[in-house]
Structure 1
């Protein structure tokens, strides 16, 4: 079970006790926000894209949407989401619980989107459809072993509203 891999990963870092598990689903941004008791924007959703023979994970705020032009300018290719079965195969996490921790493969590129930085803390999933963890952006970057911060999302800036 993917949450067990995340639990073991966070336990090795002394962070296992911070995992939040809910009696209800947190598989979507809206459900996660309700389970956590926060606004949807503070849910750190992990989006999975094709990246050669592997995957590219973009962790973004719950109210952000990928901007195809920014994505292509940043990564040099079109944004193509992974099929659900490929998500689980490559990341080790099923859709609804995908997170940037305890990934099944070492060659997965993880990037965090600037949309997250407006919050003191955010809530990414922990490998299941009913879990999360509250993290500051610096902690999320470190725990996710992120490569870099990117600006590939739209819809979250006040001037875009």
Structure 2
């Protein structure tokens, strides 16, 4: 009788472990979908900004390159430390170039106030909020299973974000 109770307990424990692992996978896929959406929005923005006179075309090209690179990285189905780091690095590289074009866009009043650019900026802002929320949810699911090696590293709340030029 005790053997059956132990077996049932082990089965339930394994089932709970598998469920938590499934939560990590589900949250990772959700986070990657948000990054893919971000890349699509960035590509739409860079396409629109091609007509802006103040924005360097080489910077737009670098932004497009990094957006496409991040999208390909997010399409990888493997979940391990290396894949998490690659997505993080790809997003950081994209952000570096995206910030540069957004800062330059500030000097083009007509372009930055156009309805289409404002709409794309709103979409980008909403997607960034979604990424923040989904990153927290993903990291919480990793912590609940003590999978600290899979955590998506973010800037701490006490540290200012870093912008490289």
With the shorter chain as reference, the TM-score category is under 0.3
With the length of structure 1 as denominator, give the TM-score of the two structures. 0.26
Name the larger-Rg structure: 2
